[in-house]
Amino acid sequence: MSSAVPRDKAKVAAASIAAERRTPTVVLAAGLLAAAGFAVPWVVGSQLALTLMTQAVIHAILATSIGFMIRQNGLTSFGHAAFFGMAAYLMALNGKLDAMPAELAVLAAIAVPAAFAFFAGLIIVRLPALSFSMLTLAVAQSLYELMLRWRGLAGGDDGMAVRLPSRLFGIDIELFQAPSSMFVVSWCALVAVIAILTLVARSHFGVLTVAIRENEERARYVGYHTLVPRALVFALSAAVGGLAGVLFALYNAFVTPGALHWSLSGEALIMAVIGGPQAIWGPALGAVIFFVVKNAMGDLTEHWPAIIGAMLIVVTVLLPQGISGLLNRLNRLNRRSREAGKA
């Protein structure tokens, strides 16, 4: 096999350079976006708007974690609130029991859901897609029931307050609870999550997991273990969900079993899909849009469910690839017409 033609070699080289140029671009873009977040509280004066935006961003992180699972594993979690709520409850329980410093609790609240997802994943990622979904739901609902019944420690359906020290990571705790500063914190977290997941998706690991999603059997016959990478994706996704839960607990200083309920998982899933999980940033966009629309509709009429539902139907029928799919298509069209213009 030594007959490679020189012309081919040039093509080969050009392609590999293009691939390498991307990493710094992602980091740079993320930096700029994060910086832009700092300006927002100055521009947006209203506390009301800021608190809504903060909540929207926290939901966006949760939606991103679900979307990442869909994209890399082809599996849909119906119970992602489990990780969100698990993290929030870990923060709350630690506040009550004083088991470890709050900083450590934050890390644990991200690591524990991840570890849990990893080991559960080793068993359940092999299942048919819908069965996987139902099992995630089962896990989340069991946790929900547990917290609902655990009156002694977790306050049952009345929920529990999250007691926090006055400083966290050297930052005044008030800042995590004031909308203007918490918005910046959550925003930076969201940008960082998207940047990291983008890099992961472009890495060898990212391609491998997509390959496994596409054809698990063949991945084994080209020499890969297929279980561990899929469980790792699940774990990574759970960690991101846990991060959202941590931010939620910090901001609200209160958790209830609702943080584990399937309606939260469902809502986050809706956000992810209308955003379009094929792009890493799609679900976050979907989350913000969904959150804002739902809020606005809720203000206007008590028939908001019907309006949201109808919009959901129309949007998905018209844009099955989600909003990010639409934007990508427009982008491609644009580029093609520019190229055509040049030629």
Looking at residues 104 to 133 of the shown chain, list those that interact with other proteins (rule: CB under 8 A).
123-124, 126-131, 133
CB of 113 to other proteins, least distance (A): 18
Number of residues that bind other proteins (CB under 8 A): 91
Which member of 61, 105, 109, 148 binds other proteins (CB under 8 A)?
A: 148
14 binds other proteins (CB under 8 A): no
**Between residue 34 and residue 73, which ones bind other proteins under the rule CB under 8 A?**
46-48, 51-52, 55, 70
Give yes or no for a contact between 237 and 245, defined as CB atoms under 8 angstroms apart: no
Among 256, 279, 281, 323, binds other proteins (CB under 8 A): 256
Tokens linked to 241: 């969900």
The interface with other proteins within residues 281-320 (CB under 8 A) comprises 298-299, 302-306, 308-313, 316-317, 320
C-alpha closest to that of 292 among 16, 1, 56, 36: 56
From CA 225, how far away is CA 143, in angstroms rounded?
31
Contact region with other proteins (CB under 8 A), list: 31-39, 99-107, 163-171, 219-227 = 219-227
- The answer to whether 147 and 229 have CB atoms below 8 angstroms apart is no
Contacting other proteins (CB under 8 A), which of 111, 168, 192, 210? 210
Residue 225 makes contact with other proteins by CB under 8 A? yes
Q: Which residues of 190-209 are buried (b: 16+ CB within 10 A; e: fewer)?
A: bbbbbbebbbbbeeebbebb
Q: How far is the CB of 24 from other proteins (least distance, A)?
A: 21
Q: Which stretch binds other proteins (CB under 8 A): 27-35, 95-103, 210-218, 236-244?
A: 210-218
Measured from the CB atom, is 140 or 193 closer to other proteins? 140
263 is a site residue for other proteins (CB under 8 A): yes
Name the nearest CA neighbour of 164 among 98, 221, 75.
98
Question: Facing residues of 255 across strands?
Answer: 160
- Point out which span in 29-37, 184-192, 218-226, 228-236 binds other proteins (CB under 8 A): 218-226
CB of 52 to other proteins, least distance (A): 8
Residue (98 or 158) nearer to other proteins, CB: 158
For other proteins, the binding residue among 5, 17, 340, 343 (CB under 8 A) is: 5
Q: What is the DSSP letter of 100?
A: S
Question: Measured from the CB of residue 103, what is the shortest distance to other proteins in angstroms?
Answer: 24
Closer residue to other proteins (CB): 196 or 254:
254
| Residue 265 binds to other proteins (criterion: CB under 8 A) | no
CB 84 within 8 A of CB 62: yes
Helix axes 282-300, 304-318, angle to 10 degrees: 150
Q: Check: CB of residue 250 under 8 Å from CB of residue 136.
A: no
Question: Among residues 275, 298, 326, which one has the least CA distance to residue 61?
Answer: 275
Residue number with CB closer to other proteins (94 or 141) = 141
Give the whole-angstrom CA distance, residue 5 versus residue 336: 30
Q: Which residues contact 258 (CB under 8 A, 6 or more apart)?
A: 159, 264
> What pairs with residue 172 in β-bridges?
167
| Residue closer to other proteins (CB basis): 42 or 221 | 221
What separation in angstroms does the CA of 23 have from each of 33, 53, 200? 16, 29, 10
